[in-house]
């Protein structure tokens, strides 16, 4: 108990002073948290403050953000070529920046990272692991990470997971994300190791192979599109809740529709499907979706801004905004970004929130990428989420949704594979979309062309030898 107190003080002081934290200290806190739960069944009452920080007070939040921005900007100006130039061009003093003056610094975009990755590397940090974005939205970016970052993120993630009851020593996590997402996979494995849970990394293998091992897992980490494939495969095999012992499904990286979430709950017998925001470029800043469907970002590790998709100015309530993230030092170390425009779009909410995460600011759910918004007029935008939800709500359960959206003569044209509308006629399908607030013209292609309409993460298939003839001589 005394040692744990000392460790918590060390962690708190490190965060307050903005110095590098000790991953080993946080890992020990994970063990302390496991011991606490073993003894008491749950953490103590003030656990929320320990995980999410005392951030209910807007003034405290702003103070934390200002200090994080100044600390991070000063380091980036000194250690990276890109931001040295950028801050100089903007004429700002990094150590004196505050959140109200950030507009003077242009946002960093993915093209910057792709074209000049070396300019983002901090000179004072040895590289450890590189990870690439999946490239579903264009040319992939390569991000270098330090050993310190990987150890710290996994320890912080494990600590938060244990204290929130999201993972424990009796759990087995199945990871169905692309094996090339090295950082994500590494973190899942490291979190399980720290907690003492089992970890099965499968990647994006044929769904039937995943289902066989999924029966023993309690946690599943995947993407919505692969979850859709798993759900479809399970249903086709006649599997139901009695065949699984899952307690949580974590998804992220794509839009999760209510139809798919409901079906996954029914098929896998899981109440808790967590729709998370995580992105390689802005790690370790993450977001969680509450039970009322708001997206809440963790504010301890970074600054999150919402900029109007049209004007680039801070978005007003009700407007669509792109999420701009600045991960703070000492949480981001090797190849940090400052004001990174994720191009992920959310709706800015109005009024006070009443959800279980209302202590943290929240916005609407992710509605898709800014570049995939369909503009029918100056004030008429159709989001990818609206389309995904409408398509996946079709009676044929065409999961994951495959479509192409284009604008012809000011009208939305939706191109779908034939099988998507199932037994419905075209008129009935149009009426279905109208019921979802979408006035569309429909066009159809053969099912063979489905994957070319809209690339998804489940398309990053990985082959195995299972179910194939044995290789001679192997």
Give how far the C-alpha of residue 451 lies from the chain's centroid of Cα atoms, to the nearest Å: 23
Burial class (CB within 10 angstroms; exposed 0-12, middle 13-18, buried 19+) of 189: middle
Long-range contacts made by residues 17-22, C-beta under 8 angstroms, separation at least 24?
18/67, 18/68, 18/71, 18/328, 18/329, 18/330, 19/330, 20/148, 20/330, 20/333, 21/152, 21/330
CB of 11 to another protein, least distance (A): 10
Task: Tell whether residue 180 is a contact of another protein (CB under 8 A).
Answer: no
Within 263-292, which residues bind another protein (CB under 8 A)?
291-292
Within 44-73, which residues bind another protein (CB under 8 A)?
44-47, 49-50
Name 87's Cβ contacts closer than 8 Å, sequence gap at least 6: 73, 76, 77, 94, 105
How far apart (Å, rounded) are the C-alpha atoms in residues 172 and 123? 39
Task: Tell whether residue 29 is a contact of another protein (CB under 8 A).
Answer: yes
How far apart (Å, rounded) are the C-alpha atoms in residues 413 and 405? 6
Question: Binding another protein by CB under 8 A: which of 26, 27, 32, 110?
Answer: 32
Question: Binding another protein by CB under 8 A: which of 103, 319, 359, 442?
Answer: 319
* Contact range with another protein by CB under 8 A, out of 111-119, 226-234, 333-341, 373-381: 373-381
Long-range contacts made by residues 34-37, C-beta under 8 angstroms, separation at least 24?
34/162, 34/168, 34/169, 34/195, 34/196, 37/162, 37/168
* Residues near another protein (CB under 8 A), total: 48
Q: Which parts of 217-300 fold into alpha helices (H)?
A: 224-236, 258-268
* CB closer to another protein out of 26 and 279: 26
CB of 396 to another protein, least distance (A): 20
Question: Binding another protein by CB under 8 A: which of 131, 295, 389, 400?
Answer: 389
How far apart (Å, rounded) are the C-alpha atoms in residues 268 and 54? 36
Task: Tell whether residue 410 is a contact of another protein (CB under 8 A).
Answer: no
Q: Are 15 and 300 in contact (CB under 8 A)?
A: yes
Task: Tell whether residue 134 is a contact of another protein (CB under 8 A).
Answer: no
Within 214-273, which residues bind another protein (CB under 8 A)?
257-258
Task: Tell whether residue 169 is a contact of another protein (CB under 8 A).
Answer: no
How far apart (Å, rounded) are the C-alpha atoms in residues 439 and 410? 11
Task: Tell whether residue 318 is a contact of another protein (CB under 8 A).
Answer: yes
Give the N- to C-terminal CA distance of the chain in Å, as an integer: 55
CB of 162 to another protein, least distance (A): 9
* CB closer to another protein out of 36 and 280: 36
* CB closer to another protein out of 292 and 452: 292
Task: Tell whether residue 36 is a contact of another protein (CB under 8 A).
Answer: yes
* Contact range with another protein by CB under 8 A, out of 82-90, 131-139, 199-207, 315-323: 315-323
Task: Tell whether residue 437 is a contact of another protein (CB under 8 A).
Answer: yes
* Contact range with another protein by CB under 8 A, out of 150-158, 171-179, 331-339, 382-390: 382-390
CB of 367 to another protein, least distance (A): 5
Burial class (CB within 10 angstroms; exposed 0-12, middle 13-18, buried 19+) of 440: buried
Task: Tell whether residue 353 is a contact of another protein (CB under 8 A).
Answer: no
* Contact range with another protein by CB under 8 A, out of 31-39, 75-83, 137-145, 401-409: 31-39
- 208 to 72, 186, 214, 401, 467: CA distances (angstroms): 46, 24, 10, 20, 10
Which structure tokens are listed for 260? 């798919």
What DSSP designation does 314 have? B
* CB closer to another protein out of 379 and 446: 379
**What is the rounded (10 degree) CA torsion for 9, 13, 15, 16?**
130
Q: Which residues bind another protein (CB under 8 A)?
A: 1-5, 8, 29, 32-33, 35-36, 38-41, 43-47, 49-50, 163, 257-258, 291-293, 309, 318-320, 347, 364-365, 367, 379-383, 385-386, 389-390, 436-438
């Amino acid at each position: 108990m005394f040692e744990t107190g000392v460790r918590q003080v060390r962690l708190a002081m490190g965060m307050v002073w903005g110095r590098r934290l000790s991953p080993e200290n946080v890992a020990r806190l994970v063990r302390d948290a496991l011991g606490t739960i073993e003894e008491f069944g749950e953490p103590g009452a003030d656990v929320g403050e320990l995980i999410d920080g005392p951030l209910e007070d807007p003034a405290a939040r702003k103070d934390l953000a200002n200090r994080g921005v100044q600390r991070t900007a000063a380091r980036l100006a000194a250690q990276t070529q890109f931001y040295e130039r950028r801050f100089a061009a903007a004429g700002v003093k990094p150590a004196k920046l505050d959140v109200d003056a950030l507009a003077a610094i242009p946002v960093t975009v993915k093209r910057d990272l792709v074209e000049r990755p070396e300019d983002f590397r901090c000179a004072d940090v040895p590289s450890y692991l590189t990870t690439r974005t999946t490239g579903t939205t264009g040319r992939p970016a390569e991000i270098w990470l330090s050993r310190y970052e990987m150890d710290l993120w996994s320890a912080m993630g494990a600590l938060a997971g244990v204290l929130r009851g999201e993972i424990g020593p009796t759990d087995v996590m199945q990871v169905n994300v692309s094996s090339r997402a090295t950082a994500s996979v590494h973190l899942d494995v490291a979190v399980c190791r720290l907690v003492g849970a089992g970890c099965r990394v499968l990647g994006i293998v044929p769904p039937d192979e995943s289902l066989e091992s999924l029966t023993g897992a309690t946690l599943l980490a995947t993407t919505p599109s692969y979850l859709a494939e798993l759900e479809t495969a399970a249903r086709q095999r006649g599997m139901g809740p009695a065949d699984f012992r899952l307690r949580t499904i974590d998804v992220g990286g794509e839009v999760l529709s209510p139809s798919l979430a409901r079906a996954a709950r029914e098929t896998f017998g899981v109440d808790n499907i967590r729709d998370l925001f995580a992105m390689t470029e802005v790690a370790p800043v993450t977001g969680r979706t509450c039970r009322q469907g708001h997206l809440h970002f963790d504010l301890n590790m970074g600054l999150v801004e919402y900029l109007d998709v049209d004007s680039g100015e801070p978005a007003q309530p009700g407007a669509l905004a792109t999420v701009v993230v600045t991960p703070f030092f000492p949480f981001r170390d090797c190849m940090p970004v400052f004001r990174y425009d994720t191009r992920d779009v959310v709706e800015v909410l109005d009024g006070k929130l009443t959800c279980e995460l209302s202590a943290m600011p929240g916005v609407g759910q992710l509605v898709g990428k800014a570049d995939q918004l369909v503009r029918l007029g100056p004030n008429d935008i159709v989001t990818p989420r609206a389309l995904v939800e409408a398509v996946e709500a079709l009676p044929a359960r065409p999961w994951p949704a495959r479509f192409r959206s284009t604008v012809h003569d000011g009208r939305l044209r939706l191109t779908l594979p034939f099988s998507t509308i199932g037994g419905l006629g075209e008129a009935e399908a149009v009426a279905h979309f109208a019921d979802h607030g979408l006035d569309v013209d429909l066009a159809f292609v053969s099912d063979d062309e489905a994957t070319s309409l809209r690339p998804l993460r489940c398309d990053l298939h990985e082959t195995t030898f299972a179910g194939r003839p044995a290789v001679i001589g192997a």
